[in-house]
Structure 1
């Protein structure tokens, strides 16, 4: 499958007008730098920073998900760079996340650049911990630091680096801030990872190992060694990470393990099922909760945010929406109010006003009178006005139907997204 990733069947090339960059050449055999992270955190800007003016965009085999690849040169060394689709976690929930995770599973990135939004680090650090736990050679890129500074968000990157045991680089790549330092860190990481793989660099070997660890409930911690002891195949992730993905019922990893382990997979599945039987919630929820808690403990030491003043009403409403006894009635009420606003006020009252009162009584008669007075050709008058004209029918429907329904819908949805969240 790795060969198909490097030489996909469906490829189209683009020049510098594309939002990505790179050279449209094969990157086989080059040290691979994988860029991962959530959407809209600056991965594309980083890709362009590391490569150049051209890019090869290919559909991942068996999907319509596009993956961008390019070549760059760091400290005179040619490297391959892959910009993966947006992902929030190692356990995929979407096709894009599955493709990004499979690239980490099937290929061998020498350095994995996890790009995060610095002002939303609390939401993105759990994935960093997952990548570290999976044994990925991670460099954490805290991007959008300029926006974080404007909001008063302060990150002690030195303390974060010490806690995680990986390089942490603050950047604002859209304005070029931190780009040169990041390249230096990537070169250093490539050098260290190359020599750690061969055991030939005493300086690299003295680097500290990953300092962070995620403690899970005893039932899970006891099961992990049992599952790991049944894994004899070759995996790009650590056995602990593979075991955790199996506990979370990851279908892609399960298929890979079944193919490599053969009859032993039956024991692996039995061990995973035994753990699940001890929890009332799916293990994916349990494991994700402990990962978030571990990330929260890390951030308490390194993150300073301005105090957010929450009104008494907003605080009570937030608590009420999180309680099933009050949250479900509030959900029904909000849906009913949204229907009244969009379906009744927008679709009936406003549509009736625009279509009948405005266009029917004023605009269309005036258009038809002007056409009858100044346009002698019937075909032109029918094209613009009368019953099926561009203005009397097309513009009327655009203004009288789409506008009154669309604007209230957008406004109502925006109000919903601004409800306080816990």
Structure 2
């Protein structure tokens, strides 16, 4: 049976997700509403390097703690459908606003390729993004791109081909920066940037960068992950830690989900959530603050 490699493109609105989807799938696309919603999801198939790639273009997603219908549909898709790799497209001019979602996706347990798009606009604004240094700081593979010109597409395809070739466990062999981050072909390196190739090593692989929360938050996460049990993420495709963090942020859909799926543990879960969010500095505020603080540190380094 043919092995189909599943890729989901995620990111905020207007960062170039649909442009990348077009480059990867060409005319082979089907647009339909996500079940139970009026939110459109684009699905397509790409063929290159002898592999078949099923690609989905998710609606705009700012955070896994969702507010809009589009965000809820994107998260529901990630929670319900198997995905081999997430391609997180970000606006290179606004990394500090984009990276909190990157950290959430990592905490959720997804293998993530970061595509820093709009590098032409970055340079026009007199800014620089060193994708090599960014990859080392994040502990994730990073590709620089100007997707409207097609720059970076070959490198993205090459990365996904290597992932598809990696013994059926794509999230293991390529998730860290053991592969060199890639500048888009045809783009000059410029000062402070280094031209790199997709097959060159960039140092020993390590795990991706994760946020460090305060003790109160980490204690609450530890209790909730224990209550969730070892198989909590099996059917929902999010890690126990991600579910715990969403629960502590009082995400309504997550609370409803755990109330129905963990009825025996729910009273204690509800107590932990309530206790953690009492006082002038509730955990539901501390979690996004920690994500944005880390994003600013990484973006400004």
TM-score range, shorter chain: 0.7 to 0.9
User: Paired residue for 1:267?
Assistant: 268
User: Paired residue for 1:165?
Assistant: 139
Structure 2 contact 92–117 (Cα < 8 Å) conserved = yes
Query: Gaps (5+ residues) in structure 2?
Result: 179-204
User: Paired residue for 1:252?
Assistant: 253
Structure 1 distance, partners of 2:61, 2:167, is: 24
Structure 1 contact 132–210 (Cα < 8 Å) conserved = no
* Residues 254/227 of structure 1: CA separation in 2 closer, same or farther (3 Å cut): same
Structure 1 distance, partners of 2:176, 2:141, is: 15
Q: Secondary structure at the match of 1:109?
A: coil
Greater share of helix:
1
User: Paired residue for 2:169?
Assistant: 195
Match of 2:211 among 202, 209, 214: 214
Higher relative contact order (CA 8 A, sep 6+): 2
Structure 2 distance, partners of 1:160, 1:205, is: 12
Structure 1 contact 195–204 (Cα < 8 Å) conserved = no
User: Paired residue for 2:223?
Assistant: 226
User: Paired residue for 1:241?
Assistant: 242
TM-score by length of 2: 0.83
Structure 1 distance, partners of 2:225, 2:18, is: 36
User: Paired residue for 1:276?
Assistant: 277
Task: Compute the displacement of 1:205 (Å).
Answer: 9.7
Structure 1 contact 33–112 (Cα < 8 Å) conserved = yes
Aligned residues: 270
Q: Deviations over 1:73-110 (max 9, x none)?
A: 13211111110111111111100000011111111210
Q: Deviations over 1:98-157 (max 9, x none)?
A: 001111111121010110111111211111111112111110000111111111211111
User: Paired residue for 1:390?
Assistant: none
User: Paired residue for 2:194?
Assistant: none
Q: Deviations over 1:184-243 (max 9, x none)?
A: 11222334483267x8x7x98995343312111211011111100011332311111110
User: Paired residue for 2:181?
Assistant: none
Query: Gaps (5+ residues) in structure 1?
Result: 1-27, 302-422
Structure 1 distance, partners of 2:276, 2:269, is: 11
Structure 1 distance, partners of 2:36, 2:175, is: 40
Structure 2 distance, partners of 1:129, 1:55, is: 29
Task: Compute the displacement of 1:281 (Å).
Answer: 4.7
* Cα RMSD (Å): 2.2
Structure 1 contact 118–144 (Cα < 8 Å) conserved = yes
Q: Deviations over 1:138-182 (max 9, x none)?
A: 100001111111112111111111121111000001111111011
Moved more, 210-219 or 57-66: 210-219
Runs of 4+ in 1 over 4 A off after TM superposition: 203-207
TM-score by length of 1: 0.60
